[in-house]
Amino acid sequence: MAQNILFVCLGNICRSPAAEGVFRALCPEVATDSAGTASYHVGSPPYGPMKAAAKARGFDLSDLRARQFSRQDFDRFDLIIGMDGDNLGDIEAQRPKGATTPVKLFTDYAPGQGADHVPDPYYTRDFEGCLDLIEAAAAGLTKALRNSSAG
């Protein structure tokens, strides 16, 4: 079972902190962090509308602060999960030689949702749709991890 999971998006103020906040509530036995491929918002709390929408569903993101993804994260985490194909490309471009840490799309864990990425609500403004998808993927990831450790 993966012990340390890193969620990654572009800014680390909308999708990845929401993913971390939802997943840690569902699967508290796994350590989590989140990061952005860009540095724009380093040190900032999650974006207000995302924080409020998550809070309304019972997920508190207020302790989270943005940081930038770095190549050292390949050593620190057992699994790295990006929100869209750009995130995966930016993460893979920093993979150190020999690093075997898997990098997956979060939507891989929510196959029934018909989404091949988590759209960025900073631009779409669809915070509820984003959280619906994140909740489904977090549940799918939790199930996958618990099944694999039961074996």
List interacting residues with ligand 4NP (CB under 6 A).
Answer: 9-15, 36, 40, 120, 122
With H, G, I as helix, E, B as strand and everything else as coil, classify residue 3. coil
From the list 14, 15, 24, 27, the catalytic residue is 15
- In the complex with ligand 4NP, the residue whose CB is nearer, 36 or 140, is 36
Q: Is 75 a catalytic residue?
A: no
Distance spanning both ends of the chain, measured CA to CA: 10
List all residues 6 or more positions away from 133 whose beta carbon is below 8 Å from its beta carbon: 107, 110, 113, 115, 118
- In the complex with ligand 4NP, the residue whose CB is nearer, 33 or 145, is 33
Q: Is 15 a catalytic residue?
A: yes
Write down the least CB distance from residue 97 to ligand 4NP, Å.
Answer: 28
Q: Is 65 a catalytic residue?
A: no
- In the complex with ligand 4NP, the residue whose CB is nearer, 2 or 134, is 134
Write down the least CB distance from residue 139 to ligand 4NP, Å.
Answer: 20
The beta strand positions in the chain, using DSSP E, are 4-9, 31-36, 79-82, 103-105
137 by Cβ neighbours in 10 Å (0-12 / 13-18 / 19+) ranks as buried
C-alpha span between 144 and 78 (Å, rounded): 14
From the list 24, 33, 120, 130, the catalytic residue is 120
Write down the least CB distance from residue 123 to ligand 4NP, Å.
Answer: 7
Active-site amino acid positions? 9, 15, 120
